[in-house]
Amino acid sequence: MYVEWRRAARTGARHIQYTAVPLFKGTRHFRIYEPGVIPGLLQTRAYAAAILSTSVRRLASGADIEAEIEAAVDGRLQKQEVLYDGSERRFAFLIEESALRSRVADDETMAAQYGHLLQVAALPHVSLGVIPSNVRRALWPVEGFWIFDQARVVVEIVTAEVTITQPSEVRQYARTFAQLGQFAVYGAALRSVMTTAIDSLG
């Protein structure tokens, strides 16, 4: 239920990513909310490398940090296979506009990431919504969370990964996801927000 990052990192950054693969493959309905970064399932290789390099350098104790980063990125991209394997999975993503605007990488990487988001948003089994920073809302941004079917919620905090399986808490996160979704934009309005983000580069 509570896995400390430092303890998990003792077996390597690759292990942290690959241990989640069975959960991803076994899930049919993903609901993912992120306030600060693009969710891992939607990251390009370059964006993932920028994100994971910070985490690996903070946690890894081995000598070959670059190999650890590369292994972690490979593991993250392997999890993305569930988006394209032809199974009857459904994915609902909610991202705060601040996640789009966080400059975690250079302009070229960010532009490619924005383009990738638009491509994934066009998939028939994917719903992608962005909550604009200027929208009037009755619920403020909360911690990022991933809901796997109706069974569990995973929350990443600074020091650990927290897994929630208590049914009443899972339902509360599901209600929160639905409430946040009311403030998001989709379709043409989403593309407009993305275009503004792209235009802000450089």
Question: What is the per-residue pLDDT across 109-144, written as a single tens digit (0 to 9) for each?
Answer: 999 999 999 999 999 999 999 999 999 999 999 999
Please tell me the pTM assigned to this model: 0.92
* Residue partners of 59: CB distance under 8 A and separation at least 6: 5, 6, 9, 13
Which residues face 95 on adjacent strands? Answer: 34, 130
Asked if 15 and 23 touch (Cβ cutoff 8 Å), the reply is: no
pLDDT tens-place string over residues 79-109:
999 999 988 999 999 999 999 999 999 999 9
Can you tell me which residue has the tokens 């927290």?
Answer: 162
Asked if 102 and 35 touch (Cβ cutoff 8 Å), the reply is: no
Range of the domain at 124: 2-199
Confidence class of residue 180 from pLDDT cuts 50, 70 and 90? very high
CATH value at residue 26: 3.30.870
| Helix or strand holding residue 155 (H, E) | strand 152-156
Res. 14: pLDDT tops 80: no
Domain count, the chain: 1
Asked if 72 and 17 touch (Cβ cutoff 8 Å), the reply is: yes
CA distance 161 to 158: 8
pLDDT tens-place string over residues 42-91:
999 999 999 998 887 877 666 688 888 898 899 899 999 999 998 899 99
User: Which DSSP letter does residue 124 get?
Assistant: T
| Helix or strand holding residue 148 (H, E) | strand 145-148
Q: What percent of the chain has pLDDT over 70?
A: 91
Asked if 154 and 38 touch (Cβ cutoff 8 Å), the reply is: no
Which tokens sit at 199?
Answer: 């235009």
Pairing label, strands 145-148, 2-4: unpaired
